[in-house]
Amino acid sequence: MTVDRLRELRAEIDRLDDEMLSLLNRRAQAVIEVGKLKSERNLRFYVPEREVEILRRISGANPGPFPTEALKAIYREIISASLSLEKPLSVAFLGPKATFTQLACLKHFGESADYVPQINVSEVFQAVERGVADFGVVPIENSSEGIVSNTLDMFVDHNLLICGEILVEVAHDLLNVTGDIDHVKKVYSHPHAIAQCRGWLERNLRAIPVFDVESTARAAELAADDPSAAAIAGEAAAKIYGLKSIRKRIQDNTNNFTRFIIIGKIAPEVTGNDKTSILFAARDEVGALHLMLEPFAKYNVNLTKIESRPVKTKAWEYLFFLDMEGHISAEPVAKAVDELRTRAQYLKILGSYPRAI
């Protein structure tokens, strides 16, 4: 009886797989038609707010038992493959491969996009500005280490917009060729990764020298070539460079996330769950920052982040980076920003975009 029931269930799974295959191809055909219409009318081929709408609708409609996070991952790949039927997306990112930035890219744009690694944040901005890539992905802040100041600096000199954000859990493993901690005579990693694992390193590898390198992927590459070396890197780096895990998740903060932003030339429309980011400089006067922030309280706009950065051209003057809830087209946000503009010495709207889901 058990064997017969197992056979029936497998036959049912095969039938459902065939049905899903047929539906996926029907969906792909509809996407091709959409692509033709966009081309004829010269419309944007990639619409991030539409992607968010699909993911939110599917997640909200999921009755289970299929996990919602797994469902979102599957649909991101479906959307990625569908977009490639219209036009493959080109995405520049802070490389090399196997870094958390590439993981963020894959999480948002899927396997079907064309990824172009760049050597630094400036090159990512330039690639998008020159049209070498449709979009760029760069880190903006980490829950443990704070803001990525170099990314903020780029917005002063480049006229690109934030089109979206991606949240990635950062889990660091200690990797080497053998998987044996006794073989470790030195450790390589990116300075941020080292800082995030400092406590574990002091408890477990106090006498072992730790060296900064330009990326966790470079650390994995060095460890792959040297049996006496270990790397602090992610699971993806272990797979690409053929390394074994000595210890998993050695970061000191288990709730460690990095926020990445998607930069481009498009301005997403309202989705109903959006954020707006701006840069501004306050005038040099008593109570200046209070005056700058007052309009947001006046119009009941919730601020989710404020960060200061020194102005490079003038000593002791600062730029402020501000995140707020809501889209710039929404009346409260628009009024608050307009009032701030009259008070600030400088103001730049970096974009309104869907919140990460």
Catalytic residues: 258, 260
20-47 residues labelled b (16+ CB within 10 A) or e (exposed): eeeeeeeeeeebeebbeebeeeeeeebb
DSSP 244: E
**Residues 221, 224, 229, 233: what is their CA dihedral angle, to the nearest 10 degrees?**
50
CB 130 within 8 A of CB 116: no
CA distance 245 to 342: 55
Contacts of 75 (CB under 8 A, 6+ apart): 54, 55, 58
Alpha carbon 217 to chain centroid, angstroms: 17
Angle 329-333-335 from CA coordinates, rounded to 5°: 95
CA distance 179 to 56: 41
Phi-psi region of 149 (alpha: psi -120 to 50; beta: other; left: phi over 0): alpha
CA distance 253 to 231: 18
What are the Cα distances from residue 212, in Å, to 98, 147, 202, 228? 17, 19, 16, 16
Both structure tokens of 42: 């010269």
